[in-house]
């Protein structure tokens, strides 16, 4: 008779590729596994409920989603974009630099690559292509690449998911993402500068220096959000979950009261959209919790550790294997599925090899984000293609230099752990 675990894996793959959401596919697979093993199927429901309701940290996810959605409908994105244009728009390839810098700033508020690409991305793509200075494919490529920074610089929804499966501090993970996120921004701007000179892009119309103070003043309320968010967390005033609530309230307050850019109808639509997004993430987490029960019953993590042990892999070799595996998986599975399903399987092996769990978390999250632009099925590629209506082949061609730049950054992040752990250690991390 075929092994129940094998049947479960085949069933999940069949349902997922057949169009069912990954979360529901895992719930169905776990339920079938329990039935075949002769266990009570209600164990799956109990596992999901306990996992969802016993994790206070998970409350941060819907609040960060709401904050990002409010920023997208308000004028915060416009103010931040205008500020970025004032700072770096005068250089060669200026709007490309603006694209990256605005993603760096916006990522300090949204925590989502998709929110960055859909919200800020639409605006900057229109700016880049309006006068024909940049092709639509190039604008789409750099927008997709810069959106990967969103979940690296705190706050970060993927970091919260990793904290859930690894039992690590969200605060330390947020701190560990700062330097890698800035590094990713730097390499993208360097590549944009090189391409701008090679293709001889026209210099963009820059904002007069005398206008910069007024633009900065208008952007200060928006720029204060990440300061309040991170300052509250690292001063001990707020937990990450409480900080997420403050972020959502602050974004709403300055959009409605100060900028007066959100109507009641828009806010209602935003609440509905955030609820749908939260439900999608919630189903994925619930399914992953049920599937983790199956994986634990089958001792899969121990089997992986034994398999890796046969080849006497060093920590460097193991991390190289993880990078290759996750980059491939990233263009097939969504990042949440990778973090909730695949990562827990490798955590015991990483611990056995002495790899720091906060460093490991940053490595896998960066991998998952780069996977969003890995051809041919990266999710961000489809998002920017739908915005620009450009053929996927053209976008991928213009994306490749930025992908290479991000892979160089990934190599530094992977093999220079002190670069990642410098800031967490400053605030008390003992790893």
pLDDT of 174-212, one tens digit each? 999 999 999 999 999 999 999 988 888 766 666 777 777
Q: Is residue 47 part of a domain?
A: yes
- Residue 130 resides in a domain: yes
Residue 304 belongs to some domain of the structure:
yes
* In-domain check, residue 252: yes
Q: Per-residue pLDDT for 111 more than 60?
A: no
The answer to whether residue 424 scores a pLDDT higher than 90 is yes
Q: By C-alpha distance, which of 247, 261, 106 is closest to 114?
A: 106
pLDDT of residue 212: 77
Nearest C-alpha neighbor of 251 from the set 108, 71, 105 = 71
Mean pLDDT throughout 333-359? 86
pLDDT tens digits for range 150-175? 788 887 888 888 998 888 988 899 99
Residue in this structure with the two tokens 């596992």, named with its chain if needed:
47
With 70 as the cut, is the pLDDT of residue 107 above it? no
* Contact by Cβ (8 Å): 258, 119: no
| DSSP line for 231-256 | HHHHTTSS-HHHHHHHHHHHHHHIII
In total, how many domains does the chain have?
A: 1
Q: Between 373 and 234, whose confidence is greater? A: 373
> Is 157 within the bounds of a domain?
yes
How far is the CA of 30 from the CAs of 52, 161, 265, 285, 374, in angstroms? 17, 20, 41, 13, 30
Q: Domain span at residue 368? A: 41-426
Place of tokens 């263009």: 331
Residue 7 is assigned to a structural domain of this protein: no
Per-residue model confidence (pLDDT) at position 418: 94
* Cβ pair 183, 104 in contact under 8 A: no
* pLDDT tens-place string over residues 238-285: 887 788 788 888 888 888 887 777 788 888 888 898 888 788 778 878
Q: Where are the alpha helices (DSSP H) in 311-371?
A: 315-330, 335-337, 343-352, 357-371
Is 11 part of a structural domain of the chain?
Answer: no
Would you say residue 109 has pLDDT above 60?
no
Residue 157: per-residue pLDDT: 81
228/150 Cα distance (integer angstroms): 18
Q: Supply the pTM of this predicted model.
A: 0.80
Which of 129-138, 186-195, 343-352, 393-402 is least confident?
A: 129-138
User: Of the given ranges (38-42, 297-301, 341-345, 412-416), which has the lowest mean pLDDT?
Assistant: 297-301
Question: Is residue 10 domain-resident?
Answer: no
Percentage of the chain beyond pLDDT 70 is: 91
Q: How many CB atoms lie within 10 A of CB 312?
A: 7
Between 370 and 81, name the one with better pLDDT.
370
CB contact at 8 A, 295 and 344:
yes
Please give the residue that has the higher pLDDT: either 241 or 305. Answer: 241
Q: How confident is the model at residue 289 (pLDDT cuts 50, 70, 90)?
A: confident
Half-sphere exposure of 223 (CA within 13 A, CB side): 14
Q: Where are the beta strands (DSSP E) in 29-131?
A: none
């Amino acid at each position: 008779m075929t092994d129940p675990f094998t049947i479960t894996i085949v069933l999940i793959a069949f349902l997922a590729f057949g169009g069912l959401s990954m979360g529901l596919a895992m719930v169905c697979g776990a339920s079938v596994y329990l039935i075949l093993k002769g266990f009570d199927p209600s164990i799956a429901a109990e596992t999901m409920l306990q996992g969802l309701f016993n994790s206070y940290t998970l409350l941060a996810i819907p609040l960060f989603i709401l904050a990002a959605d409010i920023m997208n409908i308000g004028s915060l994105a416009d103010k931040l974009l205008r500020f970025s244009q004032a700072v770096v728009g005068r250089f060669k390839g200026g709007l490309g630099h603006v694209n990256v810098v605005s993603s760096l700033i916006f990522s300090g508020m949204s925590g989502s690559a998709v929110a960055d690409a859909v919200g800020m991305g639409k605006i900057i793509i229109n700016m880049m292509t309006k006068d024909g200075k940049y092709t639509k494919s190039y604008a789409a490529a750099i927008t997709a690449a810069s959106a990967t920074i969103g979940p690296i610089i705190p706050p970060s929804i993927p970091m919260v998911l990793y904290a859930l499966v690894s039992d690590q501090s969200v605060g330390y993970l947020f701190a560990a993402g700062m330097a890698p996120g800035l590094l990713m921004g730097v390499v993208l701007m360097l590549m944009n500068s090189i391409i701008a000179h090679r293709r001889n892009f026209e210099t963009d119309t820059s904002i007069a220096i005398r206008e910069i103070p007024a633009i900065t003043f208008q952007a200060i309320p928006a720029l204060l959000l990440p300061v309040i968010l991170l300052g509250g967390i690292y001063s001990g005033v707020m937990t990450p979950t409480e900080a997420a609530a403050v972020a959502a309230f602050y974004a709403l307050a300055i959009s409605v009261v100060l900028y007066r850019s959100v109507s009641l109808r828009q806010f209602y639509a935003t609440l509905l959209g955030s609820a749908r997004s939260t439900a999608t993430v919630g189903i994925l987490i619930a399914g992953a919790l049920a599937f983790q029960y199956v994986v634990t019953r089958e001792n899969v993590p121990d089997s992986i550790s034994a398999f890796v042990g046969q080849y006497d892999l060093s920590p460097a070799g193991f991390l190289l294997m993880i990078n290759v595996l996750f980059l491939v998986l990233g263009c097939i599975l969504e990042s949440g599925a990778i973090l909730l399903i695949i990562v827990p399987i490798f955590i015991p092996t990483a611990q056995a090899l002495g790899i720091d769990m906060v460093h490991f978390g940053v490595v896998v999250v960066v991998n998952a984000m780069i996977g969003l632009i890995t051809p041919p099925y990266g999710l961000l590629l489809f998002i920017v293609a739908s915005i620009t209506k450009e053929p996927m082949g053209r976008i991928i061609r213009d994306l490749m230099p930025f992908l290479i730049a991000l892979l160089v950054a990934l190599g530094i992040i992977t093999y220079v752990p002190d670069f990642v752990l410098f800031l967490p250690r400053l605030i008390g991390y003992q790893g």
